Structure 1
Amino acid sequence: MNFIEIFKSAIQCLSGNKLRSLLTMLGIIIGISSVIAMSAIGQGGQKKITGSLAKSGFGVYEISVDTDHENYRSSYALNSGDVALLKDNDNLEAISPRMFQRVDYKNTNNKNLRGGLFGTSPGFEVIDELTYIMGRPILENEFLEKTHVIVIDHITANKIFPDKNPLGEKISIDFRGLNKIENFTIVGVFQHPDAAMNELGISRFIPALGRISLPLMERITETDEYSSILVKASDTSMSQVMLTDIMTELENKNVTDIYEYEEQVSRGSSFNEILSTLNVFVTFVASISLLVGGIGVMNIMLVSVTERIKEIGIRKAIGAKNRDILFQFLTEAIVLSISGGAIGIFMGFLAAEIFGIVSGITPIFSVNVMTISVVISTLIGLIFGVYPANQAARMNPIDALRNE
């Protein structure tokens, strides 16, 4: 008896008991669909959460120089040459040098508001995106032309201009360490990143913050040395690869162990790992239902063997060998499992998409998970179908024919 005949016979037997076959497959369908749906929703939810974290610094790293290192030389300071060296990294989404100065913002009563001033490039807006309450960010031509324009945080704007629109107003900034006072025109007001802490009373001192163009900061400070270089990975999963390449490039140029990096959200990576572990755990729990489905396949196949004892006896009496009986029942179990797996994959897709529409999470389907699901459903039929098939194959034909 060849494989095609065995397969046709298995299909006929299963078609003769459609309801029982469907109920047998139900466990496999639920198991596979649960694994597919939970995995897709888990990965989609993880990407959504890490994507939100990315806006506040997750996946963003600050490269700096350890000026206290015994081998430090002023020639090792970060500059435009280092930016040009690093910007061709394949895993880099954005790179931006940054200069920082501690300054005093002067209000209308000439009262000083202490804080910090950043000199940034257009790429910094990609890495550290601001939420503008009014106005706009610094334009590219304003960066190039070193225009005296500035964007400040809303808390500082309210303190300096409590009763008027700050846009277009002049603001004086005292560069304390340089003994310089510069005037700037306000073109934008952004939400202070620590505003929530201020409103809740968690932090008493909220420093004033502002940004001007990097070329203008270089001219004011009379230096082209950057405080740090910020880099953002195009994919957070490739962050470590990106960092390794960047640190290697810098150390090959100068000296080892003098450059440092720090993630802008230090707990971001740990949180991402927790989400990954949780996703794996939830998927594993969902896969337990596959075991239940496999036991259901074995149970129904044992019932089928009991019901078809006479058929087995007749087939053996006319020349069917043990392996023919074994392969037929094994094929029936595998067909049940694979059919249930195929329906389960479809139901998993459907369930994940529906949940995604309701929850706003875009499910991410993994080819590996689907492949593993198909393999598992086949193995379930093979493993849980062996015992019933073996019981049928070892049956004595005379005893089978005498069975009532």
Structure 2
Amino acid sequence: MEHITLLIGIVIVTALVFDFTNGFHDTANAMATTISTGALAPRAAVAMSAVLNLLGAFLSVEVAKTISSGIIDEGSGVQPEVIFAGLVGAIIWNLLTWLAGLPSSSSHALMGGLIGATIAAVGTGAVNGDVVVMKVLIPALAAPLVAGIASLCATRLTYRVARDADEGRTAKGYRAGQITSAALVSLAHGTNDAQKTMGVITLALVTGGVLAPDSDPPVWVIASAGLAIALGTYLGGWRIIRTMGKGITDIQPPQGFAAQTSAAATILASSHIGFSLSTTHVCSGAVMGSGLGRKGSVVRWSTAGRMVIGWALTLPAAGAVAAGAALLAEQGDWGVATVAVLTVAACGAIWLRSRRTPVDHTNVNDVEETAGTQPAEAPVPAPAAASPAVGEPEPAGVVTTAMRAVAPPPPPAGVALGAEGAAQEETPSAPSRPASAGSLS
């Protein structure tokens, strides 16, 4: 530790910040379905996930080796500032997709950042293309398909086995199954994603001459990475939890159990063989598969399409930001300081923007009012005296909500007067609705 320079220290701190964003960005992977079905309260769910992420960080170092000595050639002249720039690209992309509530891959953001910064600073020869293809791109394409098919089959099997069982009697069992499977996903997330930060820190220590090439992560690196991702997980990425738990499909407890079990099995298997798998791709594919597996369920393909576009943009977008940061950081100490200041400013701006529409554990499941359906229903026909704010896509007020709950939607404006007179003749005892009621919207 005494040989760590200031620059390597900055890289280590930045890597832990990325690990923190990875934690709250990917909390949805383990807990979105559990929270959406009510199997666990939101706060209890993220607390359990945080503890298991920490434990999972100590189970394996295979993925860390892939990051530290697989994707980037350690002997190609890569310097710590290049790794710093790669982390900056990953952090910015993580925060942007979190702001949009988009379940994108933190893993691919990190890979894209490292690759983009390395190409900008050293050249394409420093990137091990065969490793990228075999252990990053192919798993990225295969993982959601494998998890989705497994989840589809598991969902159908679950409903078939329990088709004659009493729903009330099986509810408790499904709840326990969901909690258990969510725990497995959290543990798997710790074994896979926490190791990526371990690998980055180890790579920085190797390039800085602190560790020998091909070294395993030191214990302090494992512990710090595990604590950082656990803290981020506990804070909860509520925006992404909302999208994955309610935005893709309406999940019932049997579906949640099947999706999480399929995802956990896929992630644990990939960690065992050293694939740097995206837990987001796996869990999203499993949720889609569970939606296809239940008869009568609807998968919201518009949301799924946005997610796939985000997945496709992750590697190049993070790489482009990292490449620009690398070119600036290579100018010397002032370049590194400038990149650090710009990164802090960007993170602050994203956080301030998120405060305009806060999402937390109290409203994480309130999708119908915020996920895009309200704007289509908000413009209610009203008399000419109505307020000009009637058609704006804002949440309905208290008075409007109460009136809609006890009265049918108003008729078109052209027949409003005739319909009102007929309604008063048929129900003389009912209180009439004044024409100005529409202005209360």
Please indicate, yes or no, whether the TM-score normalized by the shorter chain is above 0.5. Answer: no
Greater share of strand: 1
Pick the structure with more helix per residue: 2
Q: Give the number of the structure whose alpha-carbon radius of gyration is greater.
A: 1
